[in-house]
């Protein structure tokens, strides 16, 4: 900190009644403060010195190098995204416009059981890159199991389990936020609950959390919620059901039961929370339509099963079932190819269209043949329209639900990505708060800021409070909205006027400044 800043701080401590006379680096004047706690808004000014918020109050008589007129605007904590896959994009777009222009100042990586490893080497690469947002990671159970066991469907030996536990401990010491699982994906899907509990116990020793893409979000949703709660109990670790949703029309409404289980668990003192994205479509690899048993042993063995007369028919039947009753939402037209590195012409087309291009009627059976062809040729990423809209509202209203995008960082103009990459946080503020009144503005900000900061063990962020880091989002509550659509996803959100990360302006008058002041936010078990 500069000498002048130290003197300013001392002055504030000694003479609290002369706050307005201090000199600041930045003052945000006349804004409507929504501090992230969930409390009602109030009007005040915010004074920043170096990286920190120094004063909140009447600063009309103070001076600053930079003055932001926030009259008529909301001043809120910078938003914290508890679930991203931003490693896909951060090295291409270190300025992270798709997130910053929504007010997101902290990104987390390592979700769904897949993470960098070792953690310290990854953090070093991020530090050398210099990025605009702050950055933190989970350690992925699937990554660790892949290193130790591979993609085999079997239990770990005692030696293998100990090695995996040692790797979790190493990751936590190097600054991971906690442990993530992707129990829907290989090899997480092959992992018994007992193994997950043992690894989570290690993360708990370092005050980390357990965050999980559960085994199922369709017909087996409730048993998956029960398993997640069981892991929290037996590992004595806080748990988060990430991107909670209900997939498949036959399952719509199941969030009534899943949220009841959460409420009952919390009433018993079990620390379980939720995050979600505000859309009725998901996005993941096209292999989500391939049964997990067919993926056992890796890609080569999967392709052998697709080519084998003995197993191909069984795989096809399973794909048809997923199209009809799971992620396909009952019709091949609900599955869109969003990214295909080996055939870009597929991007933006759905399975029904791709089936017709091959001269076949767009039946689920014919679409299953197309899916297997795509997998054999190199795979693709797809968007699946199959989430219950009433469940989205119900989950959002729940007090234990935070907001997260579950998206990578967009490289503008590349592919046909899920619009959540550009719009998650702005969509909540615009569509769900202003247009529909599903939740209040104060509660939305809480779900985007302090809730995730507290959950992830991120200190001194997530609130507008004196001595907290100056991660701040300033937006027009009457204007902010997502622009990205499934048909035209490459559109930045509008209405975010200013964003500060660690006291530096990264968005000014709705435009990214190019600055890259982001920091690595180490987890609670970090050992320097």
pLDDT tens-digit map of 161-205: 999 999 999 999 999 999 999 999 999 999 999 999 999 999 999
The chain-wide mean pLDDT, for the chain, equals: 95
| Interacting residues of 317 by C-beta distance below 8 A, sequence separation 6+ | none
Rounded CA separation 5/50 (Å): 7
Q: What is the pLDDT of residue 528?
A: 83
Please say if the pLDDT value at position 263 is more than 50: yes
User: How far, CA to CA in Å, does 372 sit from each of 233, 306, 318, 349?
Assistant: 40, 7, 11, 16
**Residue in the structure block whose two tokens are 């390592």:** 110
Rounded CA separation 301/311 (Å): 12
Q: What is the pLDDT of residue 17?
A: 47
Nearest in space to 202 (alpha carbons), one of 161, 241, 243: 161
Q: What is the pLDDT of residue 8?
A: 44
User: How far, CA to CA in Å, does 141 sit from each of 92, 185, 458?
Assistant: 26, 11, 21
> How many other C-beta atoms can be found within 10 angstroms of the C-beta atom of residue 16?
10
Please say if the pLDDT value at position 13 is more than 50: no
Residue 406 has which token pair?
A: 């579950």
Q: What is the pLDDT of residue 348?
A: 93
Identify the structural domains of the chain with CATH numbers, from first to last.
78-280+405-457 (3.20.20.140), 284-385 (no CATH)
Please say if the pLDDT value at position 59 is more than 80: yes
Please say if the pLDDT value at position 18 is more than 90: no
The arrangement of strands across the sheet holding 178-182 comes to: 139-140, 178-182, 209-213, 239-241, 272-276, 401-403
pLDDT tier at 19 (50, 70, 90 boundaries)? low
Please say if the pLDDT value at position 6 is more than 60: no
Rounded CA separation 107/85 (Å): 9
Strands 272-276 and 239-241: parallel
Per-residue pLDDT, averaged over 261-273, amounts to: 98
Q: What is the pLDDT of residue 360?
A: 97
CB 179 within 8 Å of CB 139: yes
Helical residues (DSSP H) of 149-272, grouped into ranges: 158-173, 193-205, 221-235, 255-267
**Residue in the structure block whose two tokens are 């991971």:** 176
pLDDT in tens, 471-499: 999 999 999 999 999 999 999 999 999 99
Higher pLDDT, 416 or 444: 444
pLDDT in tens, 23-35: 999 999 999 999 9
Judged by DSSP in three states, 438 sits in: coil
| Interacting residues of 156 by C-beta distance below 8 A, sequence separation 6+ | 145, 148, 149, 164, 195
pLDDT in tens, 332-391: 999 999 999 999 999 999 999 999 999 999 999 999 999 999 999 999 999 999 999 999
Q: In terms of C-beta density within 10 A (0-12 exposed, 13-18 middle, 19 or more buried), how is residue 368 classed?
A: buried
Q: What is the pLDDT of residue 21?
A: 67
Per-residue pLDDT, averaged over 264-290, amounts to: 97
Judged by DSSP in three states, 57 sits in: strand
Distance of alpha carbon 165 from the chain centroid: 25
Nearest in space to 472 (alpha carbons), one of 46, 154, 163: 46
Nearest in space to 244 (alpha carbons), one of 97, 342, 388, 116: 388
Per-residue pLDDT, averaged over 22-48, amounts to: 97
Rounded CA separation 1/179 (Å): 34
pTM over 0.85: yes
Higher pLDDT, 5 or 410: 410
Higher pLDDT, 4 or 332: 332
């Amino acid at each position: 900190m500069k000498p002048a800043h130290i003197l300013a701080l001392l002055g504030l401590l000694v003479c609290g009644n002369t706050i307005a006379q201090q000199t600041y680096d930045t003052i945000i004047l006349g804004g409507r403060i929504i501090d992230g706690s969930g409390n009602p808004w109030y009007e005040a000014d915010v004074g920043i010195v170096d990286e920190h918020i120094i004063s909140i109050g009447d600063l009309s008589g103070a001076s600053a190098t930079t003055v932001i007129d926030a009259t008529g605007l909301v001043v809120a904590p910078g938003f914290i995204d508890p679930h991203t896959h931003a490693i896909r994009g951060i090295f291409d777009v270190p300025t992270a416009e798709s997130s910053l222009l929504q007010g997101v100042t902290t990104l987390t990586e390592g979700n769904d059981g897949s993470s960098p490893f070792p953690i310290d080497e990854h953090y070093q690469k991020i530090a050398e890159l210099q990025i605009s947002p702050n950055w933190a990671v989970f350690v992925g159970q699937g990554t660790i199991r892949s290193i130790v066991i591979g993609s085999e469907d079997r239990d770990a030996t005692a030696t293998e389990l100990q090695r995996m536990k040692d790797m979790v401990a190493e990751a936590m010491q190097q600054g991971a936020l906690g442990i993530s699982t992707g129990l829907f994906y290989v090899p997480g899907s092959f992992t018994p609950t007992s193994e997950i509990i043992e690894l989570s116990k290690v993360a708990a020793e370092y005050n980390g959390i357990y965050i999980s893409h559960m085994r199922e979000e369709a017909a087996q949703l409730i048993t998956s919620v029960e398993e997640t709660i069981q892991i929290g109990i037996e590992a004595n670790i806080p748990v988060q059901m990430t991107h909670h949703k209900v997939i498949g029309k036959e399952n719509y409404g199941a969030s009534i039961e899943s949220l009841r289980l959460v409420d009952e668990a919390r009433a018993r003192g079990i620390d379980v929370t939720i995050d979600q994205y505000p859309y009725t479509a998901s996005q993941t690899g096209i292999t989500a339509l391939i049964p997990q048993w067919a993926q056992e042993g890796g890609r080569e063995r999967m392709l052998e099963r697709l080519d084998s007369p003995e197993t191909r028919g069984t795989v096809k039947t399973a794909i048809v079932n997923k199209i009809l009753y799971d992620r396909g939402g009952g019709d091949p037209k609900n599955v869109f190819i969003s990214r295909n590195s080996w055939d870009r012409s597929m991007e933006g087309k759905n399975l029904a269209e791709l089936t017709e291009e091959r001269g076949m009627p767009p039946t689920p059976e014919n679409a299953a043949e197309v899916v297997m062809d795509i997998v054999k040729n190199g795979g693709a990423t797809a968007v699946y329209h199959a989430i219950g809209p009433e469940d989205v509202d119900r989950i959002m209203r729940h007090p234990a639900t935070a907001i997260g995008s579950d998206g990578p960082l967009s490289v503008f103009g590349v592919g046909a990505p899920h619009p959540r990459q550009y719009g998650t946080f702005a969509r909540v503020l615009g569509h769900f708060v202003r247009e529909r009144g599903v939740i209040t503005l104060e509660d939305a900000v809480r779900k985007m800021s302090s809730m995730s900061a507290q959950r992830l063990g991120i200190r001194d962020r997530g609130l507008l409070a004196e001595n907290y880091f100056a991660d701040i989002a300033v937006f027009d509550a009457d204007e902010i909205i997502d622009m990205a659509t499934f048909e035209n996803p490459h559109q930045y959100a509008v209405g975010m006027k200013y964003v500060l990360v660690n006291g530096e302006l990264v968005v000014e008058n709705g435009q990214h400044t190019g600055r890259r002041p982001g920091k690595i936010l180490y987890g609670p078990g970090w050992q320097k």
